[in-house]
Every structure is written in structure tokens, then in C-alpha cells.
Chains A and B, each alone.
Chain A
Amino acid sequence: MNTANRTHHWIIVGGGTAGWMAAAAFSAKLDASEHRITLIESDAIGTVGVGEATVPHLRYFNQVLGIDERDFMRETQATYKLGIEFVDWGHVGDRYLHPFGVYGEPAHQVGFFQSWLKARSLGDKAPLEAYAPGAVMARHERFAYPGSSAHPFSRKYSYAFHIDASRYARFLRRYAEARGVVRIEGKVSDVQRSSVTGDIQQLTLDSGERLWGDGFIDCSGFRAVLHGQTLGVGFENWSQWLPCDRAVAIPSASQSAPRPYTRAIAHAAGWRWQIPLQHRTGNGVVYCSEHMSADQATRKLLESMDGEPLAEPNHLQFTTGVRSKSWSHNSVAIGLSAGFLEPLESTSIYLIQSAIMNFLECLPRGEENAVEALRNEFNRRMALEYERVRDFLILHYTLTTRDDSAFWHRMRTLERPHSLERKIALFREQGQVEHYELGMFLEPSWLAVYEGQGLLPERWHPAADRAAEGALLASLRRFREETARWVDTLPGHDHCLTQLGMEADEAPWPPAAMSLYGVFS
């Protein structure tokens, strides 16, 4: 990328969530006198738009862009989201919530989970989620902003949204266009590269128009027009661990008040999602084509929907894995062109956001050796990001005890990546979650899945033995009861959504952070 002292032209290939998030962020953060941004998209190419369930980090993205959260919610028909419910994953009939928040109170300088393990051995079988105020709120379909009361529970959770992703893209399009981004309707028909450096120089559109650019952002989805078709960047296939390769999605009419959480319900050959928006519900079945046909999947989806279907089934095909480099030559892949991980933990939009924010930090500058170093750094960050999400997703499958279908037998017995095997062995021994700092899923998330799917160590940290047994049991019971009582004082989720349109609703939304667990905790 030429970083000489003149206007730098960025060309984003593809609209959709990734393209418009990138365009909006670039237009907000880059000086217009030095950076020109063009986005090419075609109305003839549909967007995937599966990333409808988000994680709290998206609030930070909106905050950086100075977006009014209420406007955003109205425009995207958003509902609040406090976590994800997993049904039938450990075994048929079980359910647990992975909340955006933390559990209980640490005591005697060990984490709450150790006290919980000890209490469990003494006969208190209350699930871990009973100690997460966010999870209890979700179960009772309540909502309030974190930090909105002085109560300590108010600081133990965070929230995200269920959104209409195509409306979010349209919302960001207006934002970006107002800040100078130029949208061109068209399809890329030819790409011209430098014969010397291999860099991309020029795109030809189906209209015949030619566009010269300095840097290119490939947001063309699965087609990966630049990264795959042009640059031939290698793809690391992860389907040996995550073999689901198809999905079918249908929106349906809402039948009841939207729940403030996403649902992921396992079935014989994969799982299905339910994402409640204000005006409709998003539904989809993710499945492994070796174990289920498209017809079977569509039938399963239609049978499971409680409202009228609002559109024809949208069939998707994918291979789980990542490009070996997200940034190659002068082109950066963001979104599905960079890799695909099934949306089991709502990571699609997060991975787009992470790529955009990391790229802004690693923006080309200096001499060629600087650009090389920045490119390596960006690729290293993104590789770690994808790999850690991957391991966390595999965890959901590999911890199952289900053996009721060929698919689950395969998932239960698959050979885990070494990095995951080590984490599970460590947890099995004494409930310790391998410590790391980068990546989106940290200790509370790992605990949620380990416990939710029934993997529990037989022993606990000896410091948990410092509490007298009676006092320990009483303190846990008190925490649970207080949580339930406090949640009972909060307004219903439905009520909070109706308040969104009201002029009188002046309470500011809380600050956001790049964390799954909250700004305050």
C-alpha cells in the first residue's frame, strides 16, 4: 500500500453488514482529507445477514461511532439480549444460559466457582446460572441497564441486542454516506494486479467502469472475490472439528413478547437458533449435510416455528475455517471472506468488528518494512481471535453426552485440538479455567459451558474449605435469594422495548466496553 503524501483511496468490495460496518468506522476514524472511501455493492447479490444476534462489544463499536443507542434500536428493530440459552446440548432435556455477566462473589481469594463446587458437594444443587444476575433476569424476561441502580448486582452483567442485520447495514450506510463514503452500484467483473508486487491496482465493474485503489477491503462474503478468487489466499479448513456445513433460515411472525436472550437448540444433526426481534423472529437450522438433507432441515425448521413463516427458506452452504491470512498484499478480508464459524455464540458481527478495529490500529504507515510489520501483526491478532472462538465452539459439541444419532456420536468422540484438550484436562482436575487475556470468551463463559453441559471436577480449591460449611451454604442461598428478589423489582423486557419510542425516556444508556461481561465488573 502506497502511503505517500496524498489522498489514499480505499475500495470496499461488498455491502452487507461487514462492508457497511467497515465503511462507517473508516469514515468516522480516518481524516477525509487523506482518505477517500468507495464501497461497491450490487442489489442483485443478496446478503447473508445471519449475524442477527450480537454480543456486548457491538455497543462499543456504536459508541466509538457516536451512535445514539435508542436510534440504533429503533432503526434495527432491536431487542435487548442478556445471553444465550442452550437446550439439549449436554443431553436431551437439559438447558442452561450463557449470560453476559459474572457469577457470585469471590471469597477467600478464590473464584466463586470454587465455593459453588464445595457447596454442591454438601448437597446444594442450585445451578451456576442462579448466581448470575444477568441470567436470572433473562429467565424472568426482565431488563434494566447495568449500573442503573446502586445495587451491586447492577454491575455484574452486560447486554447486547438482537437486530435486523440488513437494517443495521442500511443504518450504517446512511451514516457512512453522510461522512463522504461513495457507494457505487455494480459487480466486480475483473481485477487487475501489479505484475511487480502482486498488489491489486484496479477493479473493473460490470458496467465497464474502472476504479483505481490503494487499499482494498474484501467484504464480498463467501465468494471472497479478492482474497479467494484473485489473490488465492489459502483456506484453513476446520470442518474436522466443526462439521456443520449448511443452514436454512426463515423469519417468522412473533407470537409472544420477545425474550431477552438468544436460543440455540441442539437437534439430531446440528442445532437451530431463535432470535426474537421487535417485529419478527429469526429462525434457522444449522446442520451437517452428511447427516441431514436440506428437505429434512427445512421440515425441522418449519415444524419448530411457532409463528407464520414470513419468507421462503434461505439455504446457505459453508465450510468452517479461516483464510491463512486476513491481510494479503494490499487487501484485507473482513467478515465471511476472512473465515466462517457457525453463529452458535453470536460471533459473526463481533469478528467483523474485531477485524475493523484491529485494522484501524494497524493502518498502513511508514516505509514498506513498517507495512510488512503491521500486516504480520494484524494477521497474528486475527488468527488468535478465530482460533480461540473455534476452541470455545468445539467445546459445546465435544462435552456432549448425547449418543442418540450418528452426528452426536461423531461429535462426542472427535479428536480435539491440542489447545482445547489441555484446557479440558485442567478444568477436569480442579475446576481451573486456563488463563488468557486476549479473545472474547474468558473465564465466566468457559464456566457456563462446562457446568451447563455437566463437566464438573470432583474436588475444589482448598481455600474454599476455609469457610465453615453452614456459613458457606447460607451465603450462597442468600446470594441466590437476593438475586431473585432484586430481579423481581426490575421492569419486564417487553415494557423496556415499548419505552424506547417514548419521548419521556431520557435515562442515558450506560457506557460500553470491549468485554462480554460488562463495563463495571
Chain B
Amino acid sequence: MTAVNSILVYGGSLDGWMAAALLARSLPLTVTVLDTQPQESGVEATLPAITGFHHRLGLNERALIDNGIATPTLATHYRASDSWVPFEAPGFTLDGLPFHHYAVYGHLNGRLEAAFDAFSLPAQAARRQRYHPQSNDAGSLLATLNSGLQLDRDRYRSVIMALAKELGVHRRTGALLKVERAGDDVESLLLEDGERLSAELFVDADGALMSDAQKEQTERLASAEGFAVERLVAPQTEVACPCTRVTQREEGWELERGTAACVERLRLGAEDSPSEFGRYCPTPWMGNTLAVGQAAGELEAFVTGPLHWLQTAVVRLLDAFPASTDWRATRAEYNRRTLLEWRDRQAFFELHLYLAAHSQGASDVWRQRWHKVDNPELLRWLTLFQTAGLVASRELQALPDALRVSLLLGHQLWPQACDPQVSAREPAAVAHELAKMRQMIDRAATQLPPYP
């Protein structure tokens, strides 16, 4: 049993520096980054949880926005259906029943008179290119302005790197010659200059430290077959939007995010060469080496990018950070929770296959892809929602069910029934409530300041 006194983070990407900064900020340990100095550009999209990470790091998020490094994201614009998907559920709970039941009821009666996103202030603000920071006052409508960020990867990496150094992270440069192993453990990293680096725990933000056993276990999601990723980065030619965009194409999607300086278009298209897309390692922590971020798995999640999953991985590690290398149960629990998170990411990706296959004029390609999805948990969830309007109870949601509901209703995939406690009401009374709510949100949205 050896005390854990030092961590070596392999890889100088944003992932690596973010992991190092969070670890150094939270633990009284030596953290070193072996900086492989990768070139990174483009735009990273995150969920609202980024604000919590920034708070944890002691980083001023306002300054990032003011300096043009970050653009807030209020919603994701799905262009094919022209629906705006906010991070939180639209509407308000009425009499203890989730809002979507009222919207479904209105729809079933032909009295909804508006899209589901008309009941979300962040969605309406994004649609109008308006923005206001979220209010802390829980009673205020502005408290619903929950936002993620679009981050200029290169400039943001510099900020995180500088912060990490301030927090005492050591930076080492050099090229890796050999990974020296003893069983499942990495003993040391031999560099080309002859030096050996060693630590009790290696955090692999690059993939180069993965053992043969981990590589053998690595799987590829069957439903992701047929997709490859192409990343295009270009200078920004318009003003940045407080939203990200998803465009459905004949055989794939294009995800667009942007900051004041640049725009990234990520194309998930038909594969013509071997692709990393949908690859994941079910045991990211093996021996003394923990693969994080894109090293542990790659799967685009539409409303967020890989940085979010790097952050949840590091926080999962930090929640139960082992004081010693007698860590068998801790490691098993980390891997178990990571796999649960992965299954949730997988389901979210597969939900998009469902949306595409059920969109108007969907090609056979999309329908065949959806037919190949073998996910009983997702099917059970969809059946319950589509037939009865009920959201199945789930815990540890990596991507909240509010997103699923907004996506389905935004794509006009309405349930066939709603809660009987709602349908017992007078349709006109419910329609009146809905209209009132919609007007209030509409008025609030037009009063917000324009962005930027």
C-alpha cells in the first residue's frame, strides 16, 4: 500500500491541462503535465455545468465572455425542425405536475397554438439573438436563463494552462520514447532525452498510455457504425450567437458552434475510412492509469462537446480520490459510474437516430440506422413517453431527460396521452393558462438586451 503523492498527466491538450488544473486545485499533491504541445483550434461546446467547474477552479467566467474567449449558449437550434432546445425543461410545474403534460394536452386538443420552445425563456432569447446572465433569484423568470458556453479552444487552453501553473502544476516537455510497464501498472515514462517520469497515478489525456488489455477491451458502438467525424474551423464572419446549431443532412449531421473569432463545423458524415467515432473503453481506469476525455471514449453529444466529459471524469475521480494505491473498490466504482455515463451518452446519440428516422421525408439510410439500434432501456423510455407521456424515472442522468423531452416535442413527436390529472381539466382553462405563460415569456424575451 503506497500513498498517492504525485499525479502525472500525459498530454498537453485542453483536456490534459483542464484535468491538471482541477486536480491541483483540489488536492495537496504534486501534479505534473507532460506537455506534448498539440495544436488545437476550433470551438468547444459545453453544458451549463461548466459554470460549476469554473467556480471550483476559481476562474472568472464573466471575463471569459467579456474577452471573447467564450460565448454563452442558451439553446441548441435544430434547424430541420426549427426547434430550439434549452438545457432546462420549458414551462413551469403546475399543481405538482411537470409542464410537458399540459403542453401535450393542449396539443392533443389542437389548442396549443405554439411550439414547445415558446414556453422557454432561454429558447426564446436565443431565437431573438438576446442574452442576459442567469439570475440567482429563484423567483425570477431570468433564473431560467441557464447557459452553457462555446469556448475558443486555443485561447481557453492558454487561460487554463496559466491557471494550472498558478495552482502549482509542473510542466514538462519532451517526447515519449517508451512506456515502461509492470503488469497493469505503468512504472515510468521514458523520454527521448533519457529522463524517466514516474508517479503513483497516471492520467492519460491522450491515449498513448493505454495498455494492450485496455485496447483489446475497447469497443465501438454498433449504432455509430457508418459515421466519421470531419472538423472544419474557419474565422467567424458573422456575430456570434448565443446558441449552437444542428443541421440534419442526407446522411449525417453538421454541428456548428462559434465564438467572436472563429466557427467550428463538425460533420458527422458517412464513413469512407476507419473512424474513431463511437469508440469507448469500458475500463478507463486500469492498474495505475486512468484514461480521461477523448482518450476514454469519443461520441459527439450534439448539445455538448468532449470537454464536458473530461470534466465529469475528473470530478468523478476527485469525489473519491484515493489516498493510497490500495484502491481496488474505488477504481471499480469509478469504472462502473463511467460506464453508466457512457450508456447515457450512447442513448442520447441513438435518440438522434430516432429523431432523424422519424423526421419528415427521412431517407432509408436513417431508417435503417435506427432499426439497427439495440438499446432496450432507451426503447422502454421512448415507448412510455410516446404512448403515455410519462418520463421514466432514472438516476444519474448524464444528459438530463429535459433535453430528451424538448427534442421529441420540438420534432413534433407528441405522446398519444398525458397525465389523467391534467386531462380531467377543462381544455379551455388549460389553453388559457398556456397562452398566459407563453405571453409572459414572449414579453420577457423581447425585453432582454441583444447579444453581443
Residues of A bordering B, CB below 8 Å: 29-31, 33-34, 64, 108-109, 360-367, 369-371, 373-374, 376-377, 380-381, 422, 425-426, 428-430, 432, 434-438, 459-463, 465-466
In the bound complex, residues from chain B placing their C-beta under 8 Å from that of A430 are 320, 322-323, 330
Contacting pair B421 A461 (CB below 8 A): no
Q: Known contacts A366-B388, A373-B380, A436-B395; is A462 also within 8 Å of B4 by CB?
A: yes
Contacting pair B56 A432 (CB below 8 A): no
Residue of B nearest to A110 (CB): B319
Contacting pair A366 B396 (CB below 8 A): no
Q: Known contacts A426-B333, A429-B329, A437-B396; is A365 also within 8 Å of B388 by CB?
A: yes
Contacting pair A30 B420 (CB below 8 A): yes
Q: Known contacts A29-B421, A429-B330; is A373 also within 8 Å of B383 by CB?
A: yes
Contacting pair B392 A377 (CB below 8 A): yes
Q: Known contacts A109-B318, A361-B390; is A366 also within 8 Å of B417 by CB?
A: yes
Contacting pair A362 B390 (CB below 8 A): yes
In residues 240-263 of chain B, which contact A (Cβ within 8 Å)? none
Contacting pair B420 A363 (CB below 8 A): yes
Contacting pair B420 A365 (CB below 8 A): yes
Q: Known contacts A34-B424, A381-B393; is A363 also within 8 Å of B419 by CB?
A: yes
B26 touches A (CB below 8 Å): yes
How far, in Å, is B70 (CB) from chain A's closest CB? 23
Contacting pair A377 B28 (CB below 8 A): no
B318-341 interface code vs A (CB 8 A; 1 in, 0 out): 111111101111101100010000
Contacting pair B28 A466 (CB below 8 A): yes
Residues of B bordering A, CB below 8 Å: 4, 26-29, 56, 96, 318-324, 326-330, 332-333, 337, 380, 383-384, 387-390, 392-393, 395-396, 416-421, 423-424
Contacting pair B323 A367 (CB below 8 A): no
Contacting pair A109 B320 (CB below 8 A): no
Could you list 9 examples of A-B contacts with CB < 8 Å? A362-B390, A370-B387, A377-B384, A377-B390, A422-B333, A429-B330, A461-B320, A462-B4, A462-B28
Q: In the assembly, what is the distance between CA of A428 and CA of B418, in Å? A: 46
How far, in Å, is B59 (CB) from chain A's closest CB? 15
In the bound complex, residues from chain B placing their C-beta under 8 Å from that of A425 are 329
How far, in Å, is B45 (CB) from chain A's closest CB? 26
Q: In the assembly, what is the distance between CA of A465 and CA of B424, in Å? A: 58
Residue of A nearest to B388 (CB): A370
In the bound complex, residues from chain B placing their C-beta under 8 Å from that of A34 are 420, 424
Q: In the assembly, what is the distance between CA of A480 and CA of B437, in Å? A: 48
In the bound complex, residues from chain A placing their C-beta under 8 Å from that of B389 are 365
Q: Known contacts A434-B333, A461-B321, A462-B323; is A360 also within 8 Å of B423 by CB?
A: no
Central interface residue in B320, B389, B392, by most chain A CB within 10 Å = B320
Residue of B nearest to A8 (CB): B420
Q: Known contacts A64-B96, A373-B384, A438-B395; is A365 also within 8 Å of B323 by CB?
A: no
Central interface residue in A64, A370, A380, by most chain B CB within 10 Å = A370
Contacting pair B27 A426 (CB below 8 A): no
Contacting pair B396 A365 (CB below 8 A): no
In the bound complex, residues from chain B placing their C-beta under 8 Å from that of A381 are 393
In the bound complex, residues from chain B placing their C-beta under 8 Å from that of A432 are 319-320, 330, 333
In the bound complex, residues from chain A placing their C-beta under 8 Å from that of B417 are 365-367, 370
Contacting pair B333 A360 (CB below 8 A): no
In the bound complex, residues from chain B placing their C-beta under 8 Å from that of A369 are 383, 387
Q: Known contacts A30-B420, A109-B26; is A461 also within 8 Å of B323 by CB?
A: yes
Residue of A nearest to B29 (CB): A462
Cross-chain contact of B326 among A29, A380, A429, A465 (Cβ < 8 A): A429
Cross-chain contact of A463 among B27, B329, B332, B333 (Cβ < 8 A): B27
Contacting pair A463 B424 (CB below 8 A): no
Residue of A nearest to B418 (CB): A365
In the bound complex, residues from chain A placing their C-beta under 8 Å from that of B420 are 30-31, 34, 363-365
Contacting pair A373 B333 (CB below 8 A): no
Contacting pair A465 B419 (CB below 8 A): no
Q: In the assembly, what is the distance between CA of A95 and CA of B416, in Å? A: 55
Residue of A nearest to B395 (CB): A437
In the bound complex, residues from chain B placing their C-beta under 8 Å from that of A30 are 420-421, 424
In the bound complex, residues from chain B placing their C-beta under 8 Å from that of A380 are 392
Residue of B nearest to A358 (CB): B393
Residue of A nearest to B328 (CB): A429
How far, in Å, is A394 (CB) from chain B's closest CB? 18
Central interface residue in B4, B96, B417, B419, by most chain A CB within 10 Å = B417
Residue of A nearest to B98 (CB): A361
Cross-chain contact of B387 among A373, A434, A466 (Cβ < 8 A): A373
Supplied contacts A426-B329, A428-B329, 17 more A-B pairs, CB within 8 Å: A31-B420, A31-B424, A34-B424, A109-B56, A363-B419, A365-B418, A371-B388, A373-B383, A377-B390, A377-B392, A430-B320, A459-B323, A461-B323, A462-B4, A462-B321, A463-B27, A463-B318
In the bound complex, residues from chain B placing their C-beta under 8 Å from that of A367 are 387, 416-417
Q: In the assembly, what is the distance between CA of A435 and CA of B26, in Å? A: 20
Q: Known contacts A64-B96, A363-B420, A365-B423; is A435 also within 8 Å of B27 by CB?
A: no
Q: Known contacts A377-B392, A434-B333, A463-B321; is A366 also within 8 Å of B387 by CB?
A: yes
Q: In the assembly, what is the distance between CA of A436 and CA of B418, in Å? A: 28
Residue of B nearest to A425 (CB): B329
Q: Known contacts A361-B419, A370-B417; is A460 also within 8 Å of B388 by CB?
A: no
Central interface residue in A362, A373, A422, A435, by most chain B CB within 10 Å = A373
Residue of A nearest to B315 (CB): A109
In the bound complex, residues from chain B placing their C-beta under 8 Å from that of A374 are 384, 388, 390
Contacting pair B330 A426 (CB below 8 A): yes
Q: In the assembly, what is the distance between CA of A466 and CA of B323, in Å? A: 13
How far, in Å, is B179 (CB) from chain A's closest CB? 26
In the bound complex, residues from chain A placing their C-beta under 8 Å from that of B423 are 365
Cross-chain contact of B396 among A361, A422, A428, A435 (Cβ < 8 A): A435
Q: In the assembly, what is the distance between CA of A369 and CA of B333, in Å? A: 37
How far, in Å, is A120 (CB) from chain B's closest CB? 14
In the bound complex, residues from chain B placing their C-beta under 8 Å from that of A363 are 419-421
Contacting pair B323 A460 (CB below 8 A): yes
In the bound complex, residues from chain B placing their C-beta under 8 Å from that of A429 are 322, 326-330
In the bound complex, residues from chain A placing their C-beta under 8 Å from that of B419 are 361, 363, 365
Central interface residue in B26, B321, B387, B424, by most chain A CB within 10 Å = B387
In the bound complex, residues from chain B placing their C-beta under 8 Å from that of A422 are 329, 332-333
Q: In the assembly, what is the distance between CA of A437 and CA of B396, in Å? A: 7
Contacting pair B393 A438 (CB below 8 A): yes
Q: In the assembly, what is the distance between CA of A281 and CA of B396, in Å? A: 42
Q: In the assembly, what is the distance between CA of A468 and CA of B408, in Å? A: 52
Q: In the assembly, what is the distance between CA of A252 and CA of B358, in Å? A: 67
Residue of B nearest to A34 (CB): B424
In the bound complex, residues from chain A placing their C-beta under 8 Å from that of B396 are 435-437
Q: Known contacts A430-B323, A461-B320, A462-B4; is A435 also within 8 Å of B416 by CB?
A: no
Residue of A nearest to B326 (CB): A429
Residue of B nearest to A457 (CB): B323
How far, in Å, is A417 (CB) from chain B's closest CB? 16
How far, in Å, is A23 (CB) from chain B's closest CB? 17
Central interface residue in A109, A366, A436, A466, by most chain B CB within 10 Å = A366
Residue of A nearest to B320 (CB): A432
How far, in Å, is B24 (CB) from chain A's closest CB? 12
Q: In the assembly, what is the distance between CA of A234 and CA of B417, in Å? A: 31
In the bound complex, residues from chain A placing their C-beta under 8 Å from that of B318 are 109, 463
Q: Known contacts A370-B388, A428-B329; is A459 also within 8 Å of B320 by CB?
A: no
Central interface residue in A434, A462, A466, by most chain B CB within 10 Å = A462
In the bound complex, residues from chain B placing their C-beta under 8 Å from that of A465 are 28
In the bound complex, residues from chain A placing their C-beta under 8 Å from that of B324 are 459
How far, in Å, is B415 (CB) from chain A's closest CB? 8
How far, in Å, is A179 (CB) from chain B's closest CB? 14
How far, in Å, is A176 (CB) from chain B's closest CB? 17
In the bound complex, residues from chain B placing their C-beta under 8 Å from that of A361 are 390, 419
Among all A-B residue pairs, the 5 with the closest Cβ atoms: A366-B417, A31-B424, A370-B387, A437-B395, A370-B388
How far, in Å, is B200 (CB) from chain A's closest CB? 11
Residue of A nearest to B322 (CB): A430
